[in-house]
Amino acid sequence: MDLGARVLLPTAESRGEIEGLVATLSRELDEIAAALADTIHEHLLELEDDLRSWTLQAARSNLGAIVTMMREGDDPGAAQPPPEAISYAKEYVARGLELSLMQRAYRTGQGAFAGIVLERLRTATDDADLLAEAMSFINAWIFAWVEAIERRLTDVYLSEHAQLARGADAVRAAEVRALLGGGAVDAAAVSLRLGYELERFHVGFVIWSENAGERPGGAGELVAEMERAAETVAESLRAGVPLTVAEGGHLTCWTGSRREPDLSRLRLPRAGTHGLSVAAGTPAAGVEGFVSSHREALLARRVARLRGDGVGAVAAYPDLALEALFADTPEAARRFAASELGPLAAADDATVRLASTVATFLEEGSSFVRAGRRLGIHANTVAYRVRRAESLLGRPVTERQLELRVALRFIPLRDRSSRA
């Protein structure tokens, strides 16, 4: 970088002071490293005492690299972190410490080191101009070095964090698969391993995107957006932090509460990049509830997709229980609908319109007026369509009304199910 090239060599006037400083730093390496470690831990109270030995090793190795590079006249922008500094970054990940905290540690060390350098230069010369030139060079050089080291250690931190997260995700997914597979489990032990309490009410839910492949960003961005949506769903149900497992193109989730959550509160966040939808099962308690609510969520998702609900769908199993029967046993449900509806099960637009009118008519208590108001048509039009439907059925719509209403609810799922 330009700054590195500009400060690679000191001015001719200050060269002697810089060479003397490098020699001093080399002799006092251990003492200065200890002072830097002490300063870092004094200023960053988030760092535990048992991390100090790691901080000291990283400081010692970094100082050694600085002295060597300055002695050889190397470009500070080309600095590579020594092994001890890499181990230090990985230890932050292992302890769950934020990347920003490690960056603060380096900046704190940089400030303390500048103070030590100034003190040593003042001891070496009383020429104010030489002191200013030497200090200017050192500050610029160290700034470029720290910038290069931070950039590379950030890559180390993020890579290690991603690897750790993948390992944790794999363990969590294995635990969840074992739970869903049935069999006896130690709920307390599994709860501890998952970080999710099983002995309470659960809502299993699934978040997915129908158009993920058409949107910018990779799989990681999609999962991150679904994770954020899962938090919003849990908050809408006034339940706890969700347990999530990524499963291909969707996110399997659970959220728990001491009280039975109110599924009518189910909400998604505002539309994001990937256009998400959610389907949830009935709230239920304990390990059995964990399993049953999840299975219902999968059925509700299938119904929502069969109906073509589209982006932003919010599907709750209790509202779709009948349709879920179709999704679970499509052939039997298709035969039932065909038997009950006869010619009224035809897929042409005119017949579908008749069937939809009959469904609304029955839902409105067999009232032509209320059905017409809901459909936005005249009551006489409703009456005409109902008579046409009865001619296709071969009986009044008021006969076998329960069976008829169930069969009519299956119609929107029929054609998509045959292609699913």
Please tell me the predicted confidence (pLDDT) of residue 218: 56
Architecture of domain 196-324: 2-Layer Sandwich (3.30)
Question: Are 281 and 204 a contacting pair, CB within 8 Å?
Answer: yes
pTM for this predicted structure: 0.55
Per-residue pLDDT at 216: 47
Q: Which of 403, 353, 397, 392 is closest to 375 using CA atoms? A: 353
* pLDDT at 419 (0 to 100): 41
Q: Which long-range contacts (CB under 8 A, 24 or more apart) does 2-7 make?
A: 3/77, 3/140, 3/143, 3/144, 4/75, 4/76, 4/77, 4/78, 4/144, 4/148, 5/75, 5/77, 6/140, 7/76, 7/137, 7/140, 7/141, 7/144
Judge contact between 158 and 99, C-beta under 8 A. yes
Extents of the domains making up the chain: 2-164, 196-324, 329-419
pLDDT at position 5, please? 41
- pLDDT tens digit sequence for 190-244: 898 888 999 999 999 999 987 655 544 456 678 888 999 999 999 999 999 999 9
What is the structure's pLDDT at 64?
Answer: 92
pLDDT tens digit sequence for 287-340: 999 999 999 999 999 888 887 788 888 999 998 888 887 777 777 777 888 888
Tell me which CATH code domain 329-419 carries.
1.10.10.2840
Low-confidence ranges of the chain (pLDDT < 50): 1-7, 215-217, 417-420
Res 9: pLDDT: 60
Q: What are the structure tokens assigned to 262, written together?
A: 């109110």
**What local confidence, expressed as pLDDT, does residue 8 receive?**
53
Tokens 């299956």 -> residue: 410
Q: Which residues pair with 203 in a beta bridge?
A: 255
Fold (CATH) for 2-164? Globin-like (1.10.490)
DSSP 4-73: HHHTSS--TTTHHHHHHHHHHHHHTHHHHHHHHHHHHHHH-TTS-GGGHHHHHHHHHHHHHHHHHHHHHT
**So what's the pLDDT on residue 243?**
92
State the pLDDT at residue 11: 65
